[in-house]
Amino acid sequence: MLAASGIAYAVIAATLPRAQLFVTWDSLEPDKWASIWLIKQHIDPDAVVEVRATGDPVSDGIPFGVPEAVYKRTGSRSAFESLLLGFAQADPTLQAMGRIITTIETTAWNAPSDPLVHVVERNFRQLQDRYGRAYVPISCYAHFFDVLYAQLAMAAPPDILGQSLSLAVDNQSCAQAPTMAERTGALRVKEMAIENLLTEIALNKSVVFVDTREPAEFQRSHIPGAINIPMRNLNEKVYRQLRQADLVISYCVKDFRGYEVARQMLDNGLNNVAVMNPHGLSGWQSSGLPITSLDLPEKTALEKLMQCAKGQQECLK
Protein backbone atom coordinates (compact mmCIF):
# COMPACT_ATOMS: atom_id res chain seq x y z
CA MET A 1 0.00 0.00 0.00
CA LEU A 2 2.78 2.44 0.88
CA ALA A 3 4.54 1.78 -2.44
CA ALA A 4 1.31 2.21 -4.37
CA SER A 5 0.55 5.44 -2.52
CA GLY A 6 4.02 6.72 -3.33
CA ILE A 7 3.55 5.99 -7.03
CA ALA A 8 0.12 7.62 -7.02
CA TYR A 9 1.51 10.72 -5.29
CA ALA A 10 4.31 10.95 -7.85
CA VAL A 11 1.81 10.77 -10.71
CA ILE A 12 -0.40 13.47 -9.15
CA ALA A 13 2.59 15.71 -8.43
CA ALA A 14 3.82 15.36 -11.99
CA THR A 15 0.47 16.59 -13.32
CA LEU A 16 0.28 19.66 -11.06
CA PRO A 17 1.40 22.92 -12.70
CA ARG A 18 4.71 24.20 -11.39
CA ALA A 19 4.70 27.62 -9.76
CA GLN A 20 6.21 30.36 -11.88
CA LEU A 21 9.70 31.35 -10.79
CA PHE A 22 10.56 35.04 -10.89
CA VAL A 23 14.18 35.97 -10.24
CA THR A 24 15.97 39.25 -9.61
CA TRP A 25 19.03 40.72 -7.91
CA ASP A 26 19.07 42.24 -4.47
CA SER A 27 18.68 46.00 -4.40
CA LEU A 28 17.58 48.96 -2.28
CA GLU A 29 15.49 50.61 -5.00
CA PRO A 30 11.76 51.08 -4.35
CA ASP A 31 11.16 49.83 -7.89
CA LYS A 32 12.59 46.42 -6.97
CA TRP A 33 10.51 45.90 -3.84
CA ALA A 34 7.36 47.34 -5.38
CA SER A 35 7.84 44.90 -8.29
CA ILE A 36 8.18 41.95 -5.91
CA TRP A 37 5.01 43.09 -4.13
CA LEU A 38 3.21 43.44 -7.48
CA ILE A 39 4.12 39.90 -8.54
CA LYS A 40 3.04 38.31 -5.26
CA GLN A 41 -0.08 40.38 -4.66
CA HIS A 42 -1.48 40.80 -8.16
CA ILE A 43 0.31 38.96 -10.97
CA ASP A 44 0.71 35.50 -9.47
CA PRO A 45 0.25 34.95 -5.71
CA ASP A 46 1.52 31.38 -6.14
CA ALA A 47 4.74 32.47 -7.81
CA VAL A 48 8.12 31.86 -6.24
CA VAL A 49 10.24 35.00 -6.18
CA GLU A 50 13.97 34.60 -5.60
CA VAL A 51 16.13 37.59 -4.67
CA ARG A 52 19.68 36.65 -5.60
CA ALA A 53 23.06 38.24 -5.11
CA THR A 54 23.95 40.77 -7.79
CA GLY A 55 25.54 39.07 -10.77
CA ASP A 56 24.13 35.60 -10.09
CA PRO A 57 22.47 33.82 -13.04
CA VAL A 58 18.77 34.53 -13.57
CA SER A 59 18.12 32.52 -16.75
CA ASP A 60 16.30 29.70 -14.93
CA GLY A 61 13.24 31.84 -14.23
CA ILE A 62 11.43 34.97 -15.36
CA PRO A 63 13.97 37.73 -14.70
CA PHE A 64 12.87 41.23 -13.73
CA GLY A 65 14.69 44.35 -12.65
CA VAL A 66 18.03 43.18 -14.11
CA PRO A 67 19.77 44.40 -17.29
CA GLU A 68 18.97 41.36 -19.46
CA ALA A 69 15.29 41.19 -18.42
CA VAL A 70 12.28 42.12 -20.53
CA TYR A 71 10.72 43.56 -17.38
CA LYS A 72 13.31 46.16 -16.41
CA ARG A 73 13.69 49.84 -15.81
CA THR A 74 14.29 52.10 -18.80
CA GLY A 75 14.73 55.84 -19.07
CA SER A 76 10.98 56.40 -19.05
CA ARG A 77 9.50 53.31 -17.39
CA SER A 78 10.13 51.48 -14.13
CA ALA A 79 10.36 47.70 -13.89
CA PHE A 80 7.05 47.94 -12.02
CA GLU A 81 5.40 49.56 -15.05
CA SER A 82 7.05 47.06 -17.38
CA LEU A 83 5.46 44.25 -15.35
CA LEU A 84 2.09 46.01 -15.45
CA LEU A 85 2.31 46.22 -19.22
CA GLY A 86 3.66 42.72 -19.77
CA PHE A 87 1.08 41.02 -17.56
CA ALA A 88 -1.86 43.22 -18.64
CA GLN A 89 -2.56 44.70 -15.21
CA ALA A 90 -5.14 47.44 -15.87
CA ASP A 91 -6.04 48.21 -12.23
CA PRO A 92 -6.06 52.06 -12.06
CA THR A 93 -4.57 51.99 -8.54
CA LEU A 94 -1.65 49.89 -9.76
CA GLN A 95 -1.25 52.32 -12.66
CA ALA A 96 -1.08 55.20 -10.16
CA MET A 97 1.52 53.32 -8.12
CA GLY A 98 3.51 52.74 -11.29
CA ARG A 99 3.61 56.44 -12.10
CA ILE A 100 4.85 57.22 -8.59
CA ILE A 101 7.55 54.54 -8.67
CA THR A 102 8.73 55.62 -12.12
CA THR A 103 8.95 59.26 -11.04
CA ILE A 104 11.00 58.35 -7.96
CA GLU A 105 13.39 56.25 -10.04
CA THR A 106 13.80 58.53 -13.07
CA THR A 107 13.51 62.08 -11.73
CA ALA A 108 16.77 63.77 -10.79
CA TRP A 109 16.59 67.34 -9.52
CA ASN A 110 13.44 68.50 -11.30
CA ALA A 111 10.73 68.58 -8.64
CA PRO A 112 7.83 66.34 -9.66
CA SER A 113 4.43 68.01 -9.86
CA ASP A 114 2.71 65.20 -7.91
CA PRO A 115 3.15 65.76 -4.14
CA LEU A 116 2.35 62.08 -3.53
CA VAL A 117 5.78 61.23 -4.97
CA HIS A 118 7.54 63.19 -2.22
CA VAL A 119 5.45 61.49 0.47
CA VAL A 120 6.16 57.98 -0.82
CA GLU A 121 9.89 58.52 -1.32
CA ARG A 122 10.35 60.20 2.06
CA ASN A 123 8.61 57.39 3.93
CA PHE A 124 10.39 54.69 1.94
CA ARG A 125 13.73 56.19 2.99
CA GLN A 126 12.52 56.35 6.59
CA LEU A 127 11.68 52.65 6.43
CA GLN A 128 15.22 51.90 5.30
CA ASP A 129 16.68 54.21 7.94
CA ARG A 130 14.65 52.47 10.63
CA TYR A 131 16.20 49.06 10.01
CA GLY A 132 19.44 50.04 8.29
CA ARG A 133 19.33 50.29 4.52
CA ALA A 134 20.59 46.77 3.90
CA TYR A 135 18.58 45.09 6.66
CA VAL A 136 14.92 45.88 5.98
CA PRO A 137 12.86 42.66 6.33
CA ILE A 138 11.18 41.89 3.01
CA SER A 139 7.86 41.51 4.84
CA CYS A 140 8.12 45.15 5.93
CA TYR A 141 8.55 46.24 2.32
CA ALA A 142 5.41 44.22 1.53
CA HIS A 143 3.48 45.92 4.33
CA PHE A 144 4.61 49.34 3.11
CA PHE A 145 3.25 48.72 -0.39
CA ASP A 146 0.05 47.14 0.96
CA VAL A 147 -0.65 50.39 2.78
CA LEU A 148 0.32 52.50 -0.22
CA TYR A 149 -2.05 50.55 -2.47
CA ALA A 150 -4.93 50.81 0.00
CA GLN A 151 -4.51 54.56 0.43
CA LEU A 152 -4.22 55.22 -3.31
CA ALA A 153 -7.35 53.13 -3.88
CA MET A 154 -9.19 55.49 -1.53
CA ALA A 155 -7.68 58.55 -3.26
CA ALA A 156 -6.09 59.65 0.01
CA PRO A 157 -4.63 63.18 -0.09
CA PRO A 158 -0.88 63.60 0.54
CA ASP A 159 -1.22 64.37 4.26
CA ILE A 160 -3.36 61.30 4.95
CA LEU A 161 -1.12 59.13 2.80
CA GLY A 162 1.91 60.41 4.70
CA GLN A 163 0.32 59.60 8.06
CA SER A 164 -0.61 56.09 6.93
CA LEU A 165 2.83 55.33 5.51
CA SER A 166 4.48 56.71 8.63
CA LEU A 167 2.42 54.30 10.74
CA ALA A 168 3.44 51.49 8.39
CA VAL A 169 7.09 52.39 8.87
CA ASP A 170 6.68 52.38 12.67
CA ASN A 171 4.82 49.06 12.68
CA GLN A 172 7.33 46.59 14.11
CA SER A 173 5.05 43.56 13.72
CA CYS A 174 5.82 43.43 9.99
CA ALA A 175 9.31 42.17 10.84
CA GLN A 176 7.83 39.01 12.37
CA ALA A 177 5.87 38.00 9.26
CA PRO A 178 7.21 35.25 6.95
CA THR A 179 9.73 36.47 4.41
CA MET A 180 11.13 35.16 1.15
CA ALA A 181 14.72 36.00 2.05
CA GLU A 182 16.82 37.88 4.55
CA ARG A 183 19.95 39.96 4.18
CA THR A 184 22.70 38.84 6.51
CA GLY A 185 26.27 39.92 7.01
CA ALA A 186 26.07 42.96 4.74
CA LEU A 187 28.60 45.71 5.33
CA ARG A 188 27.28 49.17 6.12
CA VAL A 189 28.13 51.93 3.67
CA LYS A 190 29.42 55.21 5.07
CA GLU A 191 27.51 58.38 4.19
CA MET A 192 29.57 61.54 3.75
CA ALA A 193 28.20 65.07 4.01
CA ILE A 194 28.77 67.02 0.82
CA GLU A 195 30.45 69.79 2.83
CA ASN A 196 33.07 67.31 4.08
CA LEU A 197 33.47 65.93 0.60
CA LEU A 198 34.26 69.41 -0.73
CA THR A 199 36.86 69.78 2.00
CA GLU A 200 38.57 66.60 0.78
CA ILE A 201 38.58 67.97 -2.79
CA ALA A 202 40.01 71.31 -1.60
CA LEU A 203 42.85 69.43 0.11
CA ASN A 204 43.70 67.87 -3.27
CA LYS A 205 42.77 64.39 -2.10
CA SER A 206 42.20 61.82 -4.84
CA VAL A 207 38.39 61.73 -4.90
CA VAL A 208 36.84 59.50 -7.57
CA PHE A 209 33.14 59.86 -8.35
CA VAL A 210 31.67 56.64 -9.75
CA ASP A 211 28.45 57.25 -11.68
CA THR A 212 26.53 53.95 -11.60
CA ARG A 213 23.82 54.91 -14.11
CA GLU A 214 23.50 53.82 -17.71
CA PRO A 215 25.86 55.42 -20.28
CA ALA A 216 23.05 57.43 -21.93
CA GLU A 217 22.13 58.95 -18.56
CA PHE A 218 25.79 59.69 -17.85
CA GLN A 219 26.23 61.44 -21.19
CA ARG A 220 23.33 63.79 -20.48
CA SER A 221 24.69 64.96 -17.13
CA HIS A 222 27.08 63.90 -14.37
CA ILE A 223 29.27 65.18 -11.56
CA PRO A 224 32.38 66.84 -13.02
CA GLY A 225 35.21 64.36 -13.42
CA ALA A 226 33.05 61.31 -12.68
CA ILE A 227 33.66 57.96 -14.35
CA ASN A 228 30.76 55.80 -15.54
CA ILE A 229 30.71 52.26 -14.08
CA PRO A 230 27.30 50.51 -13.97
CA MET A 231 27.12 47.68 -11.45
CA ARG A 232 27.37 44.96 -14.12
CA ASN A 233 30.81 46.31 -15.11
CA LEU A 234 32.38 45.91 -11.68
CA ASN A 235 35.29 43.47 -11.70
CA GLU A 236 38.64 42.89 -10.05
CA LYS A 237 40.43 45.22 -12.46
CA VAL A 238 38.06 48.05 -11.53
CA TYR A 239 38.45 47.32 -7.81
CA ARG A 240 42.24 47.33 -8.15
CA GLN A 241 42.21 50.73 -9.84
CA LEU A 242 39.78 52.27 -7.35
CA ARG A 243 41.87 51.16 -4.38
CA GLN A 244 44.45 53.75 -5.44
CA ALA A 245 42.06 56.63 -4.66
CA ASP A 246 41.82 58.34 -1.29
CA LEU A 247 38.04 58.29 -1.53
CA VAL A 248 35.51 56.68 -3.88
CA ILE A 249 32.02 58.20 -4.02
CA SER A 250 29.44 55.95 -5.66
CA TYR A 251 26.26 57.65 -6.84
CA CYS A 252 23.19 57.45 -9.08
CA VAL A 253 20.18 59.75 -9.26
CA LYS A 254 19.12 59.28 -5.64
CA ASP A 255 21.64 56.67 -4.48
CA PHE A 256 19.55 53.52 -4.44
CA ARG A 257 21.84 52.06 -7.12
CA GLY A 258 24.76 54.11 -5.80
CA TYR A 259 24.44 52.49 -2.40
CA GLU A 260 24.24 49.01 -3.92
CA VAL A 261 27.42 49.56 -5.93
CA ALA A 262 29.18 50.97 -2.86
CA ARG A 263 28.15 47.91 -0.86
CA GLN A 264 29.46 45.58 -3.55
CA MET A 265 32.75 47.49 -3.53
CA LEU A 266 32.94 47.02 0.24
CA ASP A 267 32.27 43.32 -0.18
CA ASN A 268 35.26 43.22 -2.52
CA GLY A 269 37.69 44.88 -0.18
CA LEU A 270 37.38 48.62 -0.94
CA ASN A 271 37.39 50.40 2.40
CA ASN A 272 37.61 53.89 0.88
CA VAL A 273 34.06 54.00 -0.50
CA ALA A 274 31.08 56.12 0.59
CA VAL A 275 27.87 57.69 -0.68
CA MET A 276 26.88 61.35 -0.41
CA ASN A 277 24.43 63.03 1.90
CA PRO A 278 22.23 64.61 0.51
CA HIS A 279 21.89 61.60 -1.75
CA GLY A 280 22.99 61.20 -5.34
CA LEU A 281 23.00 63.50 -8.31
CA SER A 282 19.72 64.96 -7.08
CA GLY A 283 21.30 65.93 -3.75
CA TRP A 284 24.39 67.30 -5.48
CA GLN A 285 22.30 69.51 -7.77
CA SER A 286 19.99 70.67 -4.98
CA SER A 287 23.09 71.72 -3.01
CA GLY A 288 23.95 74.19 -5.79
CA LEU A 289 26.98 72.34 -7.14
CA PRO A 290 27.93 72.24 -10.85
CA ILE A 291 26.88 69.44 -13.19
CA THR A 292 28.59 68.57 -16.45
CA SER A 293 25.98 68.80 -19.21
CA LEU A 294 25.46 70.06 -22.75
CA ASP A 295 25.18 73.56 -21.30
CA LEU A 296 28.26 73.25 -19.09
CA PRO A 297 31.27 71.42 -20.61
CA GLU A 298 33.42 69.12 -18.49
CA LYS A 299 36.41 71.47 -18.19
CA THR A 300 34.30 74.45 -17.14
CA ALA A 301 32.31 72.32 -14.69
CA LEU A 302 35.53 71.03 -13.10
CA GLU A 303 36.83 74.57 -12.70
CA LYS A 304 33.57 75.63 -11.04
CA LEU A 305 33.73 72.63 -8.72
CA MET A 306 37.25 73.53 -7.58
CA GLN A 307 36.14 77.10 -6.96
CA CYS A 308 33.25 75.82 -4.84
CA ALA A 309 35.53 73.45 -2.91
CA LYS A 310 38.12 76.12 -2.16
CA GLY A 311 35.54 78.72 -1.17
CA GLN A 312 36.32 80.97 -4.09
CA GLN A 313 32.67 80.81 -5.10
CA GLU A 314 29.59 80.48 -2.89
CA CYS A 315 27.89 77.32 -4.09
CA LEU A 316 26.19 75.41 -1.29
CA LYS A 317 22.56 76.31 -0.77
Q: What is the DSSP letter of 71?
A: B
Tell me the pairing of strands 207-211 and 48-52. unpaired
What is d(CA 256, CA 227) in angstroms, rounded to the nearest whole number?
18
What is d(CA 207, CA 187) in angstroms, rounded to the nearest whole number?
21
What is d(CA 150, CA 269) in angstroms, rounded to the nearest whole number?
43
Q: Are 37 and 141 in contact (CB under 8 A)?
A: yes
Q: pLDDT of the chain along its 317 residues, tens only?
A: 334 434 443 433 344 456 789 999 888 889 999 999 999 999 998 898 888 877 778 888 999 998 889 999 887 899 999 999 999 999 999 999 999 999 988 765 444 568 899 999 999 999 988 887 767 888 899 999 999 999 999 999 999 999 999 999 998 788 776 664 434 444 568 888 899 899 999 988 999 999 999 999 999 999 999 999 998 899 999 999 999 999 999 999 888 889 889 988 988 888 889 999 888 998 899 889 999 999 999 999 999 999 999 885 678 76
Helices 138-153 + 158-170 axis angle, to 10: 160
Is 0.85 topped by the overall pTM? no
SS3 13: helix
Report which of 246, 249, 243 is spatially closest to residue 222, judged by C-alpha positions: 249
Cis-peptide into 278, omega within 30 deg: yes
Residues 117-140: tens digit of each pLDDT: 999 999 999 998 888 776 788 889
Query: Which residues, including other chains, have CB under 8 Å from residue 284's CB and lie 6 or more apart?
Result: 194, 223, 251, 276, 278, 291
